[in-house]
Chains A and B, each alone.
Chain A
């Protein structure tokens, strides 16, 4: 018997079908993206439904649908609940998204904010952190695509990874943020329905009681509510999520793209919609002991339960959920990282006089270059590169306070914010190697908090919020202080 849940032929058929759908829709929606604003921030007029779906789908990575079952299988109830706390990042970003849209009605990137709020030194440090994180996430998603397709269908790693990368690059290039947000909606519905059907049928077929009884008898640790060791992991995960969302242009570009008044509701709803997904995905894995499944690869426990219990269609449902999770994150990363490079590096450093059409063309080229670079880095299947995303915890943790204080605290000291990012990253990184991955974001955030607070209390600086609206300043010079 094959050790994959689907055959390569079925895998190729599904890949072909979904690839054709995403590329066609990317081209169709891309017709709206004629201007630079249309291409990078979808015309700044995205409504609540599409806004909620894109925030939710982007946060559902392949980790949410594949690592949550694994975590449930290893850490039980705490694993699922701890993972679902990732939704707090989205919920806490909700008021920030509204404020970002109000303070920077013509902004493009999180880099714009750091430059205008703290100056060039902080900007360079932030760009380094942000680009490093984005590349880490891009590589980990690309590699996860190849590895998961191989595990699910037997399709060769290089072929599967290449198809996913090529498809996401093509439709993102064709349609910019319009294509990303449009496809994200369909992907989010597929993820929600797929995961509910698989988990619902699993528990309807077996029943809660037999699953609970088997867990109690064979893996009681998975039901244990008192696992103090996991608390550190839980809080680190929480802060990692905060850091990822607060600083990354993936989330800022959406805050700029949403219609006025939509940002708060969209991010709040996205957090509420996302919260139960790791619990539902994890619950599928908890059926494994009752089914007497031998699980040779713990990261495949979710698909194995689905395929064994629900047969061919269960495996297809899992494939669709995983493929949608991968595509919805990869396209967002390609678009948002390209925006950051075009706006903060190309326009601000290399081509300050570039017009709209020029910048739009530059965006297309940079998406392609990013895609090729990520593909090349994914090609040798250096799995430790995929682990780079955990490594970035210290860096993203260190950005939480500079971003949050910069948005709400007028007196925040710019040098304190810069030092907060540098020292937070350095000490967080040291703790990663000395203690473990599970404290890097926690330490990075704590050190950065102390530095930002101390610097601001010792040397507070005044800031005029109007300076964040660069377009208004350009049209009325001399009005700001």
Chain B
């Protein structure tokens, strides 16, 4: 039994994963600056 993923689904899956990962990197950098500014790094 087969049901191939259409182009749209493939684009959404891979595209969303790449964008989410990029956003996560930015958020992680922002969190570090925020913690550092509030003296809450460790």
Do the beta carbons of A43 and B7 come within 8 Å of each other? no
A46 in contact (CB, < 8 A): yes
Do the beta carbons of B31 and A52 come within 8 Å of each other? yes
How far does the alpha carbon of A225 sit from the alpha carbon of B18 in the complex, in Å? 21
A273 in contact (CB, < 8 A): yes
Do the beta carbons of B42 and A46 come within 8 Å of each other? yes
Q: Out of A42, A49, A225, name the residue touching B35 (CB < 8 Å).
A: A49
How far does the alpha carbon of A81 sit from the alpha carbon of B31 in the complex, in Å? 27
Do the beta carbons of A280 and B17 come within 8 Å of each other? yes
Interface size on A, residues (CB 8 A): 47
Q: Nearest Cβ distance between residue A47 and chain B, in whole angstroms? A: 4
Interface of B is mostly: helix
Q: Out of B20, B25, B29, B42, name the residue touching A42 (CB < 8 Å).
A: B42
Do the beta carbons of A189 and B25 come within 8 Å of each other? yes
Do the beta carbons of B3 and A193 come within 8 Å of each other? no
Q: Nearest Cβ distance between residue A273 and chain B, in whole angstroms? A: 4
Instruction: Provide the residues of chain B in CB contact with A188, threshold 8 Å.
Output: 28
How far does the alpha carbon of A196 sit from the alpha carbon of B17 in the complex, in Å? 9
User: Per-residue 0/1 for B4-17: is the Cβ within 8 Å of any A Cβ (1 yes, 0 no)?
Assistant: 11010011011111
Instruction: Provide the residues of chain B in CB contact with A8, threshold 8 Å.
Output: none
Chain B residue nearest in CB terms to A286: B14
How far does the alpha carbon of A32 sit from the alpha carbon of B27 in the complex, in Å? 27
How far does the alpha carbon of A209 sit from the alpha carbon of B10 in the complex, in Å? 9
Instruction: Provide the residues of chain B in CB contact with A47, threshold 8 Å.
Output: 35, 40-42
User: Per-residue 0/1 for A214-236: is the Cβ within 8 Å of any B Cβ (1 yes, 0 no)?
Assistant: 00100011011110000000000
Asked, given contacts A49-B34, A216-B4, A226-B1, whether A208 binds B20 with beta carbons under 8 Å apart, the answer is no
Do the beta carbons of A224 and B2 come within 8 Å of each other? yes
Instruction: Provide the residues of chain A in CB contact with B2, threshold 8 Å.
Output: 220-221, 224, 226
Instruction: Provide the residues of chain B in CB contact with A189, threshold 8 Å.
Output: 25, 28-29
A203 in contact (CB, < 8 A): yes
Do the beta carbons of B42 and A276 come within 8 Å of each other? no
User: Per-residue 0/1 for A143-177: is the Cβ within 8 Å of any B Cβ (1 yes, 0 no)?
Assistant: 00000000000000000000000000000000000
Instruction: Provide the residues of chain A in CB contact with B21, threshold 8 Å.
Output: 192, 195-196, 273, 276-277, 280
How far does the alpha carbon of A185 sit from the alpha carbon of B2 in the complex, in Å? 42
Instruction: Provide the residues of chain A in CB contact with B10, threshold 8 Å.
Output: 77, 208, 212, 223
Q: Nearest Cβ distance between residue B3 and chain A, in whole angstroms? A: 5
Q: Nearest Cβ distance between residue B30 and chain A, in whole angstroms? A: 8
A311 in contact (CB, < 8 A): no
How far does the alpha carbon of A381 sit from the alpha carbon of B20 in the complex, in Å? 38
B interface residues with partner A (beta carbon < 8 Å): 1-5, 7, 10-11, 13-18, 20-22, 24-25, 27-29, 31-32, 34-36, 40-42
Give 27 CB contacts A-B under 8 Å. A46-B42, A48-B35, A49-B28, A49-B35, A49-B41, A50-B32, A50-B35, A50-B41, A77-B5, A178-B42, A185-B28, A189-B25, A189-B28, A192-B28, A196-B22, A196-B25, A199-B18, A203-B15, A208-B10, A220-B4, A223-B10, A224-B2, A224-B5, A272-B24, A277-B21, A280-B21, A286-B14
Closest 7 CB pairs of A and B: A49-B31, A279-B17, A192-B25, A276-B17, A49-B32, A273-B24, A47-B35
